[in-house]
Structures are given as C-alpha cells and as structure tokens.
Amino acid sequence: MGEPLLGPVRERAERLLPGARLVPAAGDPLDGALLIAGALRRDALPLPADPALLRLVR
C-alpha cells in the first residue's frame, strides 16, 4: 500500500520507540511469514498465548 500504510506506522513507531530505526523489508510478506514460522518452530520467537494465533504442534 505504500505511503498510506507506512506514514502512520512511522509516526506511531516514533512515538512508541523513539530512536528506533525503521529499515526497508528484506523480502515480501511471504518471506516474513516463513521467517516467523521457522523461528516459532525452533522456539526462537516466543509469543504470548492467544487462541487467535496459529499454533504449531509437534
């Protein structure tokens, strides 16, 4: 969506995380989803328990 989405995200980040540096994405949304899924599989990205979130069961 470009600027209509990124503008408010930048503004909010500046308020909530002063000094944080936003960088361009290293890939597309599917790349990000795969990275998150891999980290969850390795227990390297703990997320709060929430029934709305996808859970990977071994």
Structural domain includes residue 11:
yes
Task: Give the per-residue pLDDT at 15.
Answer: 93
- Residue spans of alpha helices (H) in 1-58: 3-16, 29-41
Structural domain includes residue 21:
yes
Structural domain includes residue 15:
yes
Cα dihedral 10, 36, 40, 8, rounded to 10, equals: 20
Structural domain includes residue 55:
no
Task: Give the per-residue pLDDT at 5.
Answer: 85
Q: How far apart are CA 45 and CA 16, in angstroms?
A: 21
Number of domains observed in the structure of the chain:
1
pLDDT along the chain (58 residues), means of 10: 85 91 89 90 81 72
Task: Give the per-residue pLDDT at 8.
Answer: 92
Task: Give the per-residue pLDDT at 57.
Answer: 73
Q: What angle do CA 20, 24, 25 make, to 5 degrees?
A: 110
Residue 20, domain extent: 3-41
Structural domain includes residue 54:
no
Instruction: Read off the DSSP letter of residue 53.
Output: S
Q: pTM (2 decimals)?
A: 0.48
